Amino acid sequence: MLDTHGRKYVSPIIESGANFFIKLKLTANNVTLLALVFGILTSVFIYFDKPILAVVILWFSGYLDAVDGSIARKTKTSSNFGTLMDITFDRIVEIGMIIAIGLKFNDVRFYLIILLSCILISMVIFLTVGALTEKSGMKSFYYQAGVAERSEGFIMFSLMILLPIYLNIIINIFSLMILITAVQRAMEAKKILK
């Protein structure tokens, strides 16, 4: 929801980041790899009890994840492989955080399995619709908006990292948000896929 409706407000910051990395001669794929490295570092900081640093690094990773697409559009180097890297690396970052949280907090592992299941269902719908539809938007594939997009995920992961005392509640709310998104996407898919 925030990605879809808030992009216009943060676009100047993303564009300036893209210009900065273009001047450094970095490609979109280089920045995608940087986003992955910082995203994985988030999990390391979670595991070693550095929650503030983990959240800062997570959001920086997310910023780079937005900048890479802007670089690709500005330099006209968008590619299907770049899209594959972007989507795959996003899931690696999410899985890393879930594993780190599961290793630290045994009592929420069942809730984390439910969360992973919800993410899997939502992503299957998202990717299948993207592959089957002819439509495309600003991204290189058809992007289905929903209640839980990347920014909402970062907010929920940040809350999980910063407020471990409420971990089971936050995880369950996050799972519900993703499940609602999956239903939204399935209902939209029914309309656009014949």
CB atoms within 10 A of CB 71: 27
Burial class from Cβ neighbours inside 10 Å (0-12, 13-18, 19+) for residue 134 reads exposed
Alpha helices for 48-149 (secondary structure H): 51-74, 80-104, 109-132
Instruction: Say which DSSP state 125 is in.
Output: H
* Rg of the chain (C-alpha set): 17
pLDDT tens by residue, 10-30: 889 999 999 999 999 999 999
pLDDT tens by residue, 42-70: 999 999 999 999 999 999 999 999 999 99
The amino acid at residue 40 is I
Cβ neighbours for 124, distance < 8 A, ≥ 6 positions apart = none
Does 138 score more than 60 pLDDT? no
Average pLDDT of the chain is 91
pLDDT tens by residue, 80-118: 899 899 999 999 999 999 999 999 999 999 999 999 999
Cβ neighbours for 4, distance < 8 A, ≥ 6 positions apart = 145, 149
pLDDT at 111: 97
Q: List the domains of the chain with CATH numbers.
A: 2-192 (1.20.120.1760)
Choose among 128, 31, 11: nearest CA to 77. Answer: 31
Does residue 144 contact residue 126 with C-beta atoms inside 8 Å?
Answer: yes
- Dist. CA 126–CA 103, nearest whole Å: 29
Residue 141's pLDDT band, with cuts at 50, 70 and 90, is low
